[in-house]
Chains A and B, each alone.
Chain A
Amino acid sequence: MSETLLALESVEAGYGDFQALFGVTLEVPEGAVISLIGANGAGKTTTLRVISGLLRPKSGTIRFRGEDISRVKAHEMVERGISHVPEGRQLFPHMSVEENLALGAYVPRTRPRLKKLIAEQFALFPKLAERRSQIAGTLSGGEQQMVAIARGLMAQPSLLLLDEPSLGLAPKVVDEVFEKIREVARTGVTVLIVEQNVVDGLSISDAGYVVENGAVVLSGSSKELMANEQVRAAYLGL
């Protein structure tokens, strides 16, 4: 069994007085692809925000490579090796594709290798190479998602957090995006992916966690979850 890269233990968090997470516990082994599934408002995005430091947990611990990172700020998390590709892409809309990618390598660890890293992304996403000078806001949804993922990879993360990469994309484009994620995972990057698209999400994952009302209610290998009656009824409509 490989080592644990990320571990959340009884993490509680919220927005002001509103509590969104009621003790989330989960583990992400190094090199794995893990998915987080759950209904709208379950707390999936909040979980990712807590991991990447955008939101500070009220209690509980988050360990990354064994080290408690629950107080580390978002901008320091990138340097440590966690890239968060947020829900809704969140590109810099008036900048070119290339500039969006360049910002992904902002931290001192990667900045000196800017050119080489951009070339790597273009090799992985040849479509983006053709559109390197295009303004990000004018790209199609699928292309924007590719830029968002590539921008996250520019920081050479050891953990990539993906929040609903299939959001608003046509089925064919979703397949394309998932194929790319599979390719990324094959290079050894650990991936934690949030998906509403449960079948697609689990199909590229080793294991998954089901989140409901701010807590993990079910976990298991992707195979187990796909076979689980509860999951089939609630998320697969079977």
Chain B
Amino acid sequence: MDFFTTLQAVVNGVLTGALYALVGMGMALIFGVMRIVNFAHGTFMMLGMYATYVLFVQAHVVPYYSFPLVALGMYGLGYLIYMALLRPIHGQSDFMQILLTLGIGLAITDAIQLVFGADYHQINFPLLEKNLHLGSHITVNAPWVVSFGIALVTGGGLYFFVMHTMSGRAARAIAQNRYAAPLMGIHLHRVQAFWFGLGVSAAAVAGSLLLPVFYLYPGVGDQFTLKAFVIVVLGGMESIVGAAMAGVLLGVVESLTSLYWGNEWALAVDFAIFLLVLSLRPSGIFGRQKA
């Protein structure tokens, strides 16, 4: 295979990877601030896809305009789920939290299946037909370019918010020393609910952006929970920059794997990377090594 075919695969991988990055950043945020591996993460992304789908079918709003509304709604849902379900088990074993987030994911997936059925859905609008040519060899589908741009802005905004606002500082304070945080006047549960909501809405935005180029069905989120988990482990568990880089890397590796070995190998490669990272460098590739 020639150079340009490979380059094309890398470009495609980066475009997909940007969405993975957004999903992963959300999970890394949630893990960093509250030490919860959110096994419902892909489910929230799926919910974002359905919300976007309904807005498209019922109100004819394309995802690139409806995603802020979806993000807001999903933020609210995340906040409520934290306060109603996660807060009461605060301080209990990891096992409880795993069971609870798994349970939340299953319940939501079943509810969606009940309402929308198990059928596959797809949306269509004119932009999907458009292609952009970069030079004479590289072609990219327009919706991917738009989603890449939105993911970049959203991810960048999230990073800025975490690093340069008092709210982000409070989140990092909890992540770094949860004993000292209340002594600063930080209301642990309020801050955690806020960031859980934000993490959930990051996943939902990725869902909105993915809808135009993907199939929609109730179980679509499951593979993304796995990917998000791989990304977060690769990125060093709580580093959102690490997660962003790991997301793009995963996108590129999957794309190259599909090109050289075939589509069916992509998921196997996810697992392989995951096991490799866990055994070689438990704190992740991009994460800081902690004592």
Q: Which residues of A contact B (CB under 8 A)?
A: 52-54, 73-79, 83-84, 86, 90-95, 99, 102-104, 106-107, 111, 151, 155
Contact = CB atoms under 8 A, between A and B. Distances in A.
B179 interface: yes
A104 B176 CA distance: 15
A75 B180 contact: no
Contacts of B184: 75, 78, 103-104, 106-107, 151, 155
A75 B186 CA distance: 5
B173 interface: yes
Contact of B179 (A76, A90, A107): A90
A29 to B, nearest CB: 24
Contacts of B173: 92, 95, 103
Contacts of B177: 90-93
27 contacts: A52-B183, A54-B182, A54-B183, A75-B182, A75-B186, A77-B185, A78-B183, A78-B184, A78-B185, A83-B183, A86-B179, A86-B180, A86-B183, A90-B180, A90-B183, A91-B180, A92-B173, A95-B169, A95-B176, A103-B169, A103-B170, A103-B184, A103-B186, A106-B169, A106-B170, A106-B184, A111-B166
A99 B166 contact: no
Contact of A74 (B169, B172, B176, B183): B183
Contacts of A53: 182
A25 B252 CA distance: 66
A90 B180 CA distance: 6
Contact of B172 (A78, A79, A92): A92
B188 interface: yes
Main secondary structure of the interface of B (DSSP, over half): helix
Interface string B187-214: 1100000000000000000000000000
Given A92-B172, A92-B177, A74 B166 contact: no
Contacts of A95: 169, 172-173, 176
Candidate in A75, A78, A91, A111 with the most chain B CB atoms within 10 angstroms? A75
Contacts of A54: 182-183
Nearest to A161: B183
B87 interface: no
Nearest to A53: B182
Contacts of B169: 95, 99, 102-103, 106
A142 to B, nearest CB: 19
B183 A92 contact: no
A133 B42 CA distance: 38
B90 interface: no
A75 B185 contact: yes
Interface string B154-172: 0000000000001001101
Contacts of B185: 75-79, 106-107, 155
Top 5 nearest A-B pairs by Cβ distance? A78-B185, A107-B185, A74-B182, A90-B180, A92-B176
Nearest to A155: B185
A108 B237 CA distance: 31
Given A104-B184, A107-B184, 13 more contacts: A54-B183, A78-B185, A90-B183, A92-B173, A92-B176, A94-B172, A94-B288, A95-B172, A102-B166, A102-B169, A106-B184, A106-B186, A107-B185
A92 B168 CA distance: 13
A99 B172 CA distance: 10
Given A78-B184, A103-B184, A94 B179 contact: no
A79 B173 CA distance: 18
Given A86-B179, A94-B288, A106-B166, A75 B187 contact: yes
